[in-house]
Amino acid sequence: MDLIIQIFPYAIAYTIPLLIVALGGLFSERSGVVNIGLEGLMVVGGFASALSISKLQQSYPDASWVIWVGLLIAMLAGALFSLLHAFASINLNADQVISGIAINMIAGALTVFLARNITGSGNIRITGMSRGDVDFLGLNLSHIPLIGSLFFKNAYSTTWLVLIILVISIFVLYKTRFGLRLRACGEYPQAADAAGINVYRIRYIGVMISGAFSGLGGAIILVTYSGEFSGSVAGLGFLAIAALIFGQWKPLGILAASLFFGIATTITNVAQVVPSFAAIPQLVLKVFPYVVTLIALVIFSKSSQAPKSVGVPYEKGKR
């Protein structure tokens, strides 16, 4: 039990970026646009936040708001960069998979190029966020038995930000006008069009949300456990896509899937330190999340709940 309490905060730290990026992917795909470029959008967010935070930290070394500004800038950068994908996929009816791959490549190369130009090096270091016990109205919540130690001790405040976004997303998707229309665009855009809805506009919004959320995810990695921008997020963007599929395109499913991957990754990383895990060969631990993803993809393939028109470019006037 102690072990779980110890690793849980780390698991959460890995889960949260996955969750927010997968949520972004959810909005994009539910509107009908496949977005393989989540990885690149994370890199863009990481870069934008790293750059802005490192510059700001030079002038305001101890201000905590600097980090929040960085997160906001990451979201903006992600949303803007995603316009490339949106334009190609929605206006030009390009193959969405290829466009997404192009986004990944451009992001990876461009950010390192700019980093090198601006700071002289491909890496940018910053001082990240610190963990703390969660305070609510003066009460230190980490003192609550069991739950307190799991959730409110050693937590990052970004965790709460993302969970709030999750709740809002569920509400928006299933209870609001916008959510209904968004889902219609992903299932059968011709119906939405006949109802007078601007399918193009909704899909743009869906893609930009995925850009903003992915950018935020990349920035959260930076300010929580990484501390440094290096031009890559080691496949986390693709893992988020897997979480999306694993979670069957439903927000709570994605939460469960991301948590699973988070725990799996944590086990891999802490294995050396924890005696009960140290016996397992390094290799098995490292490939464990990827193998499990493959297995999960197989299991969930039969009952796929993917939005019916996802990935199909929408052409007005087509039956």
Partner 1 sequence: MEYVVEMLNITKEFPGIIANDNITLRLKKGEVHALLGENGAGKSTLMSVLFGMYTPEKGSIKVRGKEVTISNPNVANALGIGMVHQHFKLVSNFTVTENIILGLEPKKGFVVDIKSAAKKIEELSKTYGLNVDPYAKIEDISVGMQQRVEILKTLYRNAEVVILDEPTAVLTPQEIQELMKIIKNLVKEGKSIIIITHKLKEIKAVADQCTVIRHGKYIGTVDVKNTTEAEMASMMVGRQVNFKVEKTESNPGEVVLEVNNVSVKNNKKVLGLKNASLQVRAGEIVGIAGVEGNGQSELVEAITGLREIEEGSILLKGIDISKHSIRERIRSGIAHIPEDRQKRGLVLEYTIEENCVLEVYNQKPFSKYGLLDKAALAKHAKKIIEEFDVRSGEGAKTVVESMSGGNQQKAIIGREIENNPELLIACQPTRGLDVGSIEYIHKRLVEQRDSGKAVLLTSLELDEVLNLSDRIAIVNAGEIIDIVNAKDTNEDELGLMMAGIKRGEGA
Partner 2 sequence: MKKGGIISLIAIFLGLIAGAILIMATGNDPVEGFTYLFQGGLKDSERIGNTLATATPLILTGLSVAFAFRTGLFNIGAAGQMLIGGFCALAIGLTVHLPTYLLLPLMVVVAMVAGAIWAFIPGLLKAKFNVHEVVSTIMMNWIAYWMVYYLVQNHFKGDTETESRMLADSATLKVPFLSDLFSGSFINLGIVIAIIMVIVISFIINRTVLGYELKAVGHNRSAAEYAGISVNRNVILSMMISGGLAGLAGVVQYAGNSSLIEIGVLPSEGFDGIAVALLGMNSPIGVFFSAIFFGLLSTGKGFMSAMTSIPPEISDVIIAIIIYFSATSLLIRKVINKLTRSRKYKKEILNSNVNVGEKVE
The binding site for partner 2 (CB under 8 A) comprises: 36, 84, 88, 92-95, 97-99, 101-103, 105-106, 108-110, 112-113, 116-117, 122, 235, 238, 241-242, 245, 281-283, 286-287, 290-291, 293-294, 297-298, 301-302, 304
Comparison of 168 and 291: residue with beta carbon closer to partner 2: 291
- Rounded-to-integer distance, Cα 276 and Cα 42, Å: 34
The least CB distance from residue 206 to partner 1, in Å, is 16
- Rounded-to-integer distance, Cα 171 and Cα 313, Å: 27
DSSP assignment, residue 312?
P
* 302 forms part of the interface with partner 1 (CB under 8 A): no
17 contact partners, CB below 8 Å, separation of at least 6? 42, 217, 218, 220, 221, 224, 236
With CB under 8 A, what is the number of residues at the site for partner 1? 22
Per-residue contact string for residues 152-191; x = within reach of partner 1 by CB under 8 A: -------------------x---xxx--xx-xx--xx-xx
Nearest to 219 by CA among 72, 92, 120: 72
Do 207 and 36 meet the contact criterion of CB atoms below 8 Å apart? no
* 69 forms part of the interface with partner 1 (CB under 8 A): no
- Rounded-to-integer distance, Cα 281 and Cα 21, Å: 30
* 195 forms part of the interface with partner 1 (CB under 8 A): yes
- Which of partner 1, partner 2, none is residue 180 near (CB under 5 to 8 Å by kind)? partner 1
- Which of partner 1, partner 2, none is residue 44 near (CB under 5 to 8 Å by kind)? none
Q: How far is CA 219 from CA 44, 48, 225, 309, in A?
A: 9, 8, 10, 31
In angstroms, the first-to-last Cα distance of the chain is 58
- Which of partner 2, partner 1, none is residue 219 near (CB under 5 to 8 Å by kind)? none
Comparison of 92 and 284: residue with beta carbon closer to partner 1: 92
User: What residues line the site for partner 1 (CB under 8 A)?
Assistant: 171, 175-177, 180-181, 183-184, 187-188, 190-197, 308, 316-317, 319
